[in-house]
Structure 1
Amino acid sequence: MFSENILVGDIIATGLSGGVVLSLLKIWEQTAKRGFFDPKLNRKVVHITVGLAFMLCWPLFSSGRHCAYLAALVPGLNILNMLLVGLGVINDDATVKSMSRFGDHRELLKGPLYYASTITVATGIYWRTSPIAIAAVCNLCAGDGMADIVGRRFGSKKLPYNRNKSIAGSIAMACAGFLASIGFMLYFSSMGYMQESFEMALGFLVVSISAALAESHPMSTEVDDNLTVPFTAILVGSLLL
C-alpha cells in the first residue's frame, strides 16, 4: 500500500499502527490526568479502544507471513513498557494513572501486562486470517470493558454464584464481545482475509458466552480476567472456529 518494496511498505504500516496506538494512549493519559472522566471509566475506555483500534490497522500490511511479526512489535513494545514502568525502572505517572485501579505502578505487571501479551499473541500467532484472533481481542477489549462499565451502572442484581459480579455486566460482556467479533469478521471478510459464515458467527456467540462465564467466575477475583478471558476465548475458539 505504501511502497513498491513490500518490506518497506510493511515497516511503514508498522509505524502507522504504532502511531495510532500511541496517539490513543496519549489521549487517554491526558483525560486521566485532567480528570475528564471517572478514573475507572477512563481505564476501561483505554481497555476497549486500544486493542480494537490496533486490529483495525491490520489490513495496512501486505500478505506475507512476516507482517504478523512486524505488527506484533507494536504490542510487544508495550509489554516492555509495562515491565519497565511496573518494575519502577521508568517513572511514568500518566501511564500508571490511566491504566491502574489504585495508582500503584506495580499493577501494570498484572492486568495491563496480560492485556498487551494477549494482543501480541493474537497478532503474531493467529493474525488476520484466523477468527481466533478476533475472538480473543474482541472479548478481551469490547467484552470485558463493557462488562465493567455496564455492571457499575446497572449491576444491582448480582450473580448467585459471585456477588462481586452482576447479571447486567455479564450479559453486556457476552453481547459486546459477540457484536465486536461479528463486526471484525465482516471487516476482514470484505478484504478477503477470511470467509464469513453462519457457523463462524455461531462459534463467536459460544465463545463470547464462555468468556463472559469465565469473567464472572469467582476465580476471577484471584486470577486476573485479562488472563482468564482471552485464555477461554482462545481455548473455545480453537475448538469451534
Structure 2
Amino acid sequence: MAATGPMLFPGTPLAGDICALVLTMCSALCLLQFFEETARRGIFDQKLNRKLLHITFGLVFMLCWPLFSSGSQGAVIAAIIPSVNIVKVLFIGLGLLKDEATVKSMSRFGDYRELIKGPMYYVISIALCCTFYWRTSPIAIAAICNLCAGDGTADIIGRKFGTKKIPYNTDKSFAGSIAMATAGFIASIGYMYYFSMFGFVERSFKMTAGFMLVSVASALVESHPLSTKIDDNLTVPLASVFLGTLVFS
C-alpha cells in the first residue's frame, strides 16, 4: 500500500510537501549550478556537459518524489520545480534574461534562442509527466527515463562509437540507438525497484517487459529523421507516453 502522506511531517501534508519542495528545489539548483560551473570552466566538452545535465536533472528530480504526498497535491507541488525552469528557459530563450552560464550548459551552439526548443520541450515533458502520471504510474517512469537516461546516453555513445550509421538516418548510429534502448530500460527498471520500496508500484515481469518494449520503441522513434527535424526531446516522451498507455493500461 502506497503511503498517502509526505515523508516529512506526514500528519500535516501541506507542510510536508512544502518542505519537500524546498529540499528538491535546493537539489535541482545545486545540480544546475554544478553544470553551469563546469560549462564556464570548460571542464567537459560543451556537448558532453549538456548531455550530462540532460541525463541527471530528470532522474535526480524523480529520486525526490517519495518526499512528497501521494495524490494530486504532491504531484502539483513537485511539478513546481520543472515549471520554474520552464519560465527561466523561456525568458532566456526570448532574450528577456541574460544568463550565459545557462546558455552554455544547455545549448548546442551557444545560441540563447536554442533554449526555447529542445530544453523547453525537455522541462515541459518532465513537468507534465509529474503532474498527470506521478509516481504510481509506470508511464511516468518510462517517459522520463527514456527522455533522460536513454536520449542522453544515445548522444554520448553515438558520438564516440557511432561509426556505423543507420541507413534511413545518417545522423544516427546503431551504437547510439542500442545505447539509448539499453540505458532507458535499465533506468526504468531501477526506478521500478526504487518506487516499489515505497509501495508506489508493484514490480512484475509484465512491467519489466513493458519497459523493454517502450525503450526499444523510443530508440526507434529517436532514430527516425522526423525526430531530428522536430526535436527528440518532444518525440521521445510523446512516444513513451503513447506506447506506455497501451502497454501498462
Give how far 1:62 is off: 2.0
159, 165, 172: which is aligned to 2:166?
A: 159
Q: Residue 25 of structure 1 aligns with which residue?
A: 32
Give how far 1:64 is off: 3.8
Give the SS at the match of 2:135. coil
Give how far 1:18 is off: 1.0
- The equivalences for 1:113-124 within 5 A come to 113-124=120-131
Alignment pair present for 1:189 and 2:191: no
Q: Residue 57 of structure 2 aligns with which residue?
A: 50
Give how far 1:59 is off: 0.3
Give the SS at the match of 1:19. helix
Listed as ranges, the gaps of 5+ residues in structure 1 are none
Q: Deviations over 1:52-72 (max 9, x none)?
A: 000000000122420000000
- In structure 2, what is the Cα distance between the partners aligned to 1:237 and 1:18? 28
Divergent runs of 4+, >6 A: none
Q: Residue 209 of structure 1 aligns with which residue?
A: 216
Q: Residue 186 of structure 2 aligns with which residue?
A: 179
Give how far 1:2 is off: 2.5
71, 75, 96: which is aligned to 2:78?
A: 71
- In structure 1, what is the Cα distance between the partners aligned to 2:71 and 2:190? 24
TM-score (norm 1): 0.99
CA 1:14–1:100: 2 relative to 1, 3 Å: same
* Residue type at the aligned position of 2:87: L
Give how far 1:227 is off: 0.3
Give how far 1:221 is off: 2.0
1, 8, 20: which is aligned to 1:2?
A: 8
Q: Residue 112 of structure 2 aligns with which residue?
A: 105
- In structure 2, what is the Cα distance between the partners aligned to 1:212 and 1:2? 38
Give the SS at the match of 1:65. helix
**Identity in percent:** 60
TM-score (norm 2): 0.95
- In structure 2, what is the Cα distance between the partners aligned to 1:126 and 1:210? 20
* Residue type at the aligned position of 2:131: G
- In structure 2, what is the Cα distance between the partners aligned to 1:143 and 1:69? 25
| Count of aligned pairs between the two proteins | 241
Q: Deviations over 1:110-145 (max 9, x none)?
A: 000000001100100000000000011000000000
Q: CA RMSD in A?
A: 0.7
- In structure 1, what is the Cα distance between the partners aligned to 2:101 and 2:32? 10
* Residue type at the aligned position of 1:159: I
Give how far 1:76 is off: 0.6
- In structure 2, what is the Cα distance between the partners aligned to 1:121 and 1:144? 18
